[in-house]
Amino acid sequence: GESVGLHLPTLSVQEGDNSIINCAYSNSASDYFIWYKQESGKGPQFIIDIRSNMDKRQGQRVTVLLNKTVKHLSLQIAATQPGDSAVYFCAENTSGYALNFGKGTSLLVTP
């Protein structure tokens, strides 16, 4: 049977390398997606968003890619730094404007 208590997938990268975090979303009708960063004991922090009429959006050191065909979202972080170590969540909007969060990926940046 399933284990109780989910284990967050972990991505370990070396400082200076690029990181790619992936997310699969469930609702084909979702038209807005957001990536959040959450540090231990803190609330989610907005990183970047993208609307469904786009397939790529760039920010400072971050890029979000959206593939609506396979309902896949990715976050690319360039030149990863120790301060980037955190848990990253993708989120899709719902009809009531609440957010449906993905399971999260723990990013660990090693020196």
Partner 1 sequence: GAVVSQHPSRVICKSGTSVKIECRSLDFQATTMFWYRQFPKQSLMLMATSNEGSKATYEQGVEKDKFLINHASLTLSTLTVTSAHPEDSSFYICSARLALAKNIQYFGAGTRLSVL
Which residues contribute to the site for partner 1 (CB under 8 A)?
A: 5-8, 32, 36, 41-46, 49, 89, 93, 96-104
Nearest to partner 1 of 84, 92 (CB atom)? 92
Nearest to partner 1 of 7, 60 (CB atom)? 7
Least distance to partner 1 from the beta carbon of 91, Å? 8
Per-residue H/E/C for the chain: CCCCCCCCCEEEEECCCCEEEEEECCCCCCCEEEEEEECCCCCCEEEEEEECCCCEEECCCEEEEEECCCCEEEEEECCCCHHHCEEEEEEEECCCCCEEECCCEEEEEEC
Nearest to partner 1 of 44, 85 (CB atom)? 44
Nearest to partner 1 of 8, 79 (CB atom)? 8
Least distance to partner 1 from the beta carbon of 32, Å? 5
Least distance to partner 1 from the beta carbon of 38, Å? 8
Residue 56 pairs in a beta bridge with 65
Least distance to partner 1 from the beta carbon of 36, Å? 8
Residue 109 pairs in a beta bridge with 13
